[in-house]
C-alpha cells in the first residue's frame, strides 16, 4: 500500500496545525494500522515540546537536512517523531539556502507515512514542505485573519500545482480543515461559504471545537487515548479526513 506524505499548514499561528498533525498521525495508526513518522518542521518546536516530555533532544530534522546523525523519538507502537532542535531557528541562514526539494531528498529512504507539521510563515521551510507533500491540509479557524492567511497559502499551492502540471509531475492534493468549529457561530458558516465559492472542487472538512482535545493539551495524549464527551465526534471527523487522504474520495 502506498505511503502518503501529509503536511499540515496555515499562514497563521494557533489554528491547530500541530494538534491536527498529531491527530491525523494517531488516526492513521488506530484506523489504518499503519506506521507514521511525525516531523516537526516548525522552528517553534511545539510538537517536539509536546511529545518529548522534557527529554533532552539532541538532533532531529535540521541535522538530517544537513547530513548529520539524527535520532527519532518513539511515541507509540507505530508513531515516531523526527523532532526539531533549536538549530532549526538558530541557523535560519542555512535553511534559506536550501533547495525546495531538500526535505523530499532527506526523507526519501523512509518507507512509512509521514506527517509534517509546519510553521505559520511563508518561508523556505514552507516551500520545502509544499514540495514534499502528496497531500496538504490547510488548517483554518473560523475567523477572518485565519481564513485570509489560508487563502494566501492556497494560492501558493495552486501556483506550485501549475508548475507541476507543466513539468508533468503529479499535482498535490489538498483540502481545508475548518478547525474549532462552533455550531451557530455565524462567522464560521460565512467563511466556509467564502472558501467554497473560491475553491469549488477542494474538499472542506469541519472539525468541531473539542473539549477532549483541549483538555489533552500538554499531556502528549493521542486521540485514541482521549477522554471526554465529544471524543467520538472528533474521531469520526478525523477518520473522514484520513479516508480521503488514502482514497482521494470524500464521504
Among 52, 113, 131, 179, binds ligand ADP (CB under 6 A): 179
Whether 119 contacts 113, CB under 8 Å: no
Which strands sit side by side in the sheet containing 173-181, from one edge to the other?
A: 73-74, 79-82, 36-40, 113-117, 5-9, 135-140, 173-181, 204-208
Kindly state the smallest distance separating residue 9's Cβ from Mg ion, in Å. 10
Span from 9-17, 24-32, 52-60, 123-131 in contact with ligand ADP (CB under 6 A)? 9-17
Q: Give the three cell numbers for residue 213.
A: 482535545
Strands 173-181 and 73-74: unpaired
175: how many CB neighbours lie within 10 A of its CB?
17
Mark 102-141 with x for binding to ligand ADP (rule: CB under 6 A) and - for no binding.
Answer: ----------------------------------------
Give the residue from 159, 140, 110, 141 showing the smallest Cα distance to 4: 110
Residue 13 binds ligand ADP (CB under 6 A): yes
Kindly state the smallest distance separating residue 2's Cβ from ligand ADP, in Å. 27
Give the residue from 72, 157, 59, 84 showing the smallest Cα distance to 109: 72
Residue 72 binds Mg ion (CB under 5 A): no
**Closer Cβ to Mg ion, 34 or 89, answer by number:** 89
Distance, C-alpha 103 to centroid of its chain: 15
Span from 86-94, 151-159, 163-171, 207-215 in contact with ligand ADP (CB under 6 A)? 207-215
Among 4, 37, 41, 46, binds ligand ADP (CB under 6 A): 46
Residue 192 binds ligand ADP (CB under 6 A): no
Q: How far apart are CA 203 and CA 177, in angstroms?
A: 9
Give the residue from 226, 219, 170, 178 showing the smallest Cα distance to 202: 178
Whether 139 contacts 62, CB under 8 Å: no
Span from 79-87, 89-97, 108-116, 209-217 in contact with ligand ADP (CB under 6 A)? 209-217
Site for Mg ion in 17-46 (CB under 5 A): 17-18, 46
Task: Please work out the total of residues on this chain that contact ligand ADP, with binding judged by CB under 6 A.
Answer: 17
Among 7, 11, 18, 154, binds ligand ADP (CB under 6 A): 18
Residues that bind ligand ADP (CB under 6 A): 10, 13-19, 46, 179-180, 207, 209-210, 213-214, 217
Amino acid at each position: 500500500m502506498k505511503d502518503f506524505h501529509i503536511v499540515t499548514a496555515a499562514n497563521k499561528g494557533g489554528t491547530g496545525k500541530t494538534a491536527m498533525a498529531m491527530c491525523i498521525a494517531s488516526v492513521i495508526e488506530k484506523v489504518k494500522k499503519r506506521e507514521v513518522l511525525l516531523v516537526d518542521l516548525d522552528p517553534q518546536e511545539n510538537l517536539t515540546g509536546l511529545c518529548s516530555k522534557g527529554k533532552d533532544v539532541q538532533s532531529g530534522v535540521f541535522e538530517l537536512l544537513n547530513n548529520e546523525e539524527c535520532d527519532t523519538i518513539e511515541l507509540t507502537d507505530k508513531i515516531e517523531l523526527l523532532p526539531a532542535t533549536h538549530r532549526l531557528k538558530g541557523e535560519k541562514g542555512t535553511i534559506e539556502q536550501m533547495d525546495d526539494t531538500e526535505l523530499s531528498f532527506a526523507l526519501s529512504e523512509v518507507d512509512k507515512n509521514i506527517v509534517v507539521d509546519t510553521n505559520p510563515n511563508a518561508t523556505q521551510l514552507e516551500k520545502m514542505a509544499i514540495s514534499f507533500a502528496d497531500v496538504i491540509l490547510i488548517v483554518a479557524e473560523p475567523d477572518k485573519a485565519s481564513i485570509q492567511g489560508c487563502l494566501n497559502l492556497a494560492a501558493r499551492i495552486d501556483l506550485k500545482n501549475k508548475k507541476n502540471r507543466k513539468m508533468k509531475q503529479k499535482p498535490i492534493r489538498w483540502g481545508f480543515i475548518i478547525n474549532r468549529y462552533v455550531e451557530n457561530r455565524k462567522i464560521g458558516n460565512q467563511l466556509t461559504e467564502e472558501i467554497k465559492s473560491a475553491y469549488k472542487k477542494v474538499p472542506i472538512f469541519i472539525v468541531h471545537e473539542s473539549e477532549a482535545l483541549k483538555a489533552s493539551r500538554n499531556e502528549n495524549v493521542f486521540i485514541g487515548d482521549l477522554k471526554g464527551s465529544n471524543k467520538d465526534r472528533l474521531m469520526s471527523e478525523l477518520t473522514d479526513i484520513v479516508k480521503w487522504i488514502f482514497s482521494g474520495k470524500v464521504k
